Structure 1
Amino acid sequence: MLILVACVVIFIYGMMASLLGTIVPSLGATLSLTNTQIGYLALAQGLGLAGTSVVAGAFMDSKGKMAGVVVGLLASLVGLTMLSHPTSLLLSVIAMVILGCGGSLVIVGSNAIASDVPDDRRAATITFLNVFVGLGGFATPFVAGNLLGSDAVKSAYCGIGIVAIALVLTLLTPFPKNRPELRRGRAETVSIFHSGVLYVLASITFLYTACEFGIWNWLPKFLIATGLPNAKALNILSLGFASGLLIGRLLATKLLTKASTYYVNLVCCSLMCLSLFAVLRFPAAAGGAPLVFFTGLVMAPIFPTTIAIVGKLFQQRSATAIGFAITCGFSGLVVSSPLIGWLAGTDPSGLKRGLMLLPAMSAAVVVILVLFRNRLVKTTE
């Protein structure tokens, strides 16, 4: 039952991840937002995600995973309620900060729950859990584009209903108490941050998350700028990218019971770099969705396998270590989103220039994996 709750809750995170990109066309038209101002919204979301994840892991190690998940869902409800009445850019920015705070608690809590499984199944379990990120990411733009007329307000109300159901399910599910060994305090926490491997893994989550959210937040607007209608652009985000993530993580769940997490990451990161470049270089082909789908497919295992390695290395303070790695990941969103908006400028066609940052970041992940091969291979054995 606990894993079911983790799956439902991380589905909410998937919804939040794709929400901004889903509502940007409608919200942008309503508030007359430029690319730079949309970048502020993404920055606000990233600040909420990164700022909260700094303390999320330690909070859950101390107060329990249920407390963290419940607070995260409540914050999501507040943020969505504010977003259902988008009267100004300022209120929308505040709503995105609150949604970021809620999303951070939700994803740290879900991954911390899954990290409690035995070592030989951890990577596969966390990857399976993150399948529901793809499912949530698929549902939001698909429902908004096909059933809600791409309307930002209706999308927010739909999200409120789903988050409320998840909150009730969480409150009705018994969570195990934290094990005594997880309460050893400051000295053990400090020892976590003495490990150089943690910072290598955190740099990977930093760069990868910047790429993933770059797609969630900007792909529909990029495709619309090439001449596609709103509904088709949202369908490409859901049926293309989100479906690729979903199917890729289902396949990776089986693959990771046999293959090395290091080599899976290396191959997938290399392919991610090439596919992101191809999506931006050949937008007409991206409009047909196959390239976008392939991009989601190869990106699917990277985040959960990296988090699984963190959970394996730091079992005594897993939520704290996972929270730190996820904090660094969300910091990538904080850095990349305003930079993309700034590089894009006021010209809608400038998004292609700004989004070229994503394949560059993918290439940096490949370089890190190659440079630290010996240490990472030893860690994943």
Structure 2
Amino acid sequence: MKRDEERLSSSIRSRRRKSIVKELTRISNQWLLLTVVFGGFLIFGFSENIKGPAIPRMQADFHLNETQLGLLLAFNSLGYLIACSFTGALTNRIGIKWTGIVAFGSMVVSGLLMYLSSSYAYLSASYFLMYIGNGMLEIGLAIMAARIFTKNTGAMMNLSHFFYGLSSAIAPIVASSMMGWSLFGGELGWRGMYLIMLSLSLLPIIPSLKARFPGDGETSAERMTLKSFSRDPAAWLIVAVLSFGVVSELAVGGWLVNYLEKAYGWSTDAASGMLSVFFVFFMAARLLLGPLTDKIGYTLSVMLLSAFSGICSFAAIAVGEQGAILFAIAGIGIAPIYPTVMAILAKRYSRGTDTAITFTVTLMGVASVIGNLLIGVTIDEVQKLFGSDKGAEESLRIGLQAGYGFIALLALLCSASCLILFCYLRKRNELV
């Protein structure tokens, strides 16, 4: 009897030890996953937003006009689009873990190629590779976050994207400063800056190698197919909401510094500082407004916030240089759109989040290609229209205003699309 009690007691202790070890392993893995997701968004923010101060330097080095600049950004977005189209299939084949590692590695290689670039074509190819990595990373991080954050999805999605805002807030200032560094008897310039910043992509690879990613190695017959997803009218409305919102968001990083320098004669440091202020508001909004989206609903949140962003941007253009701070304040409204739409996808399509994210973000990439090109063309065409009457400097300013007005219009179109989505879902009692 006594031996039976001892064996039972030993068995209970053994199960407790195993349970404790299992829980510690789970917690350790969770922290590794959070490190990869949060670190990935930090890297993503840097790679996306160091281009603001660098673009005028690239433009000067390669003697590019505004249409060529818009074409460069559009071509790069094409790389992003291509990556989005195959990342879902790649994830199913090699797992989300190795997909992320490949994405980080390609960004490091692109930084090296950018450092060596000697022509517009070489630069475009290097940027194209970087955006391949960015596209893979965006899909991968979105899938990871959707699998991990099953509770308080809106708040956690916004928190993870807060780290994108954090790096984006400091990226323009850091990039502007780094380009002026003296190294080995010469200036670091935009080439050296890109090499150093993109080399940081090596860091998230370390926890990626150690972590166990949810969903890798698993299959499910219950997952929603691409065909069934594409038949849902709400899916296409979500595509429109995300496309208008994200193109407006990304365009700020590419065009605000250029606008402030050429329209108002600001220095690169001052213009980069305003872009950083934009991302400070952007970052704070993702940190603080995430819980609000869970409370009032994801669809209503996006509708209100995108309208606020568009109104602020139009007001900034109308007021002129004295209202430049409104460009930065617009970041409050535009920031929560992407993560909140990801929360909508995770909640509405819980059985096929991977498919929903891949489809939606891929079509968003198409919109990004078109949007960047249209902004550059708008600036050039409006400038030509007023060139003979207003003079070169004044016509350029009007062209830039038209281009930035197009960015503001996209935010309002995002809000209008979300209003239609809100009415559609409410009619069916499916609001999220």
- 1:1-381 superposed matches below 5 A: 1-117=32-148, 119-149=150-180, 151-178=189-216, 180-182=218-220, 188-225=225-262, 226-238=264-276, 240-287=277-324, 290-345=325-380, 348-349=396-397, 350-377=399-426, 378-381=429-432
Does structure 2 retain, via aligned residues, the 8 Å contact 1:42–1:333?
no
- How far does residue 168 in structure 1 lie from its aligned partner after superposition? 2.9
One-letter amino acid of the structure 2 residue matched with residue 20 of structure 1: K
* Contact 1:205–1:306 (8 Å) recurs in 2: yes
In structure 2, distance between residues paired with 1:244 and 1:120:
26
CA shift, 1:323, in A, is 1.6
Deviation digits for residues 260-305 of structure 1 (CA, Å, limit 9, x no counterpart): 1122111101101101212333341354xx3132111111111111
Structure 1 residue 340: Cα displacement? 1.1
Which structure is larger by alpha-carbon Rg, 1 or 2? 2
Contact 1:61 1:319 in 2 (8 A): no
Deviation at 1:328, TM superposition (A): 2.0
Distance 1:372 1:136 in 2: 32
Q: Count the aligned residue pairs.
A: 377
After superposition, the Cα gap between the structure-2 partners of 1:171 and 1:179, relative to the gap in structure 1 and judged at 3 Å, is: closer
Question: In the aligned structure 2, how far is the partner of 1:194 from the partner of 1:161?
Answer: 42
Q: Which moved more, 1:14-23 or 1:300-309?
A: 14-23
Q: What value does the CA root-mean-square deviation take over the aligned residues?
A: 2.1
Q: CA deviation at 1:366?
A: 2.1
Amino acid aligned to 2:307: S
Q: After TM superposition, give the deviation of residue 147 of structure 1 in Å.
A: 4.1
Deviation string, structure 1 residues 34-92 (Cα, Å, up to 9, x no partner): 11111121112210111211222233244321122112112211222111223111011
- CA contact 1:123–1:256 (8 Å) conserved in 2: yes
Cα distance in 1 between the residues matched to 2:370 and 2:225 = 30
Which deviates further from its counterpart, 79-88 or 104-113?
79-88
Q: C-alpha distance in 2, partners of 1:121/1:171?
A: 28
Distance 2:221 2:90 in 1: 11
SS in 1 for 2:116: coil
Structure 2 residue identity aligned to 1:215: V
**1:162 corresponds to which letter in structure 2?**
L
Distance 1:32 1:3, change over 3 A: same
> In structure 2, what residue type is equivalent to 1:247?
A
Structure 1: give runs of 5+ residues left out of the alignment.
none
Runs ≥4 in structure 1, deviation > 3 angstroms? 117-120, 179-185, 376-381
8 Å CA contact retained: 2:69, 2:376? yes
Cα drift, residue 182 of structure 1: 3.9
**2:215 & 2:416 partners in 1: Cα distance?**
41
Tell me, yes or no, if the aligned pair for 1:279 and 1:291 is still in contact at 8 Å: yes
- C-alpha spacing 1:356/1:293, structure 2 compared with 1 (3 Å): closer
Is the Cα–Cα contact under 8 Å of residues 344 and 354 in structure 1 kept in the other structure?
A: yes
Distance 2:129 2:430 in 1: 36
How big is the shift at 1:140?
1.8
TM-score, length basis structure 1: 0.92
Cα distance, 1:118 vs structure 2: 5.4
Give the counterpart letter for 2:179 in structure 1: L
Please list the CA deviations of residues 129-159 of structure 1 after superposition, one character each: whole Å capped at 9, or x if unmatched. 1111112212321201234329312321221
CA distance in 2, matches of 1:182, 1:70: 24
Q: 1:286 to 1:183 in 2, by over 3 A?
A: farther
CA contact (8 A) 2:282 2:332 kept: yes
CA distance in structure 1 between the partners assigned to 2:143 and 2:57 by the alignment: 35
Instruction: Tell me the CA shift for residue 15 of structure 1.
Output: 1.5
- The structure showing larger relative contact order (alpha-carbon pairs under 8 Å, at least 6 residues apart) is 1
Alpha-carbon shift at residue 332 of structure 1 (Å): 2.0
- Aligned residues with identical type, % of pairs: 20
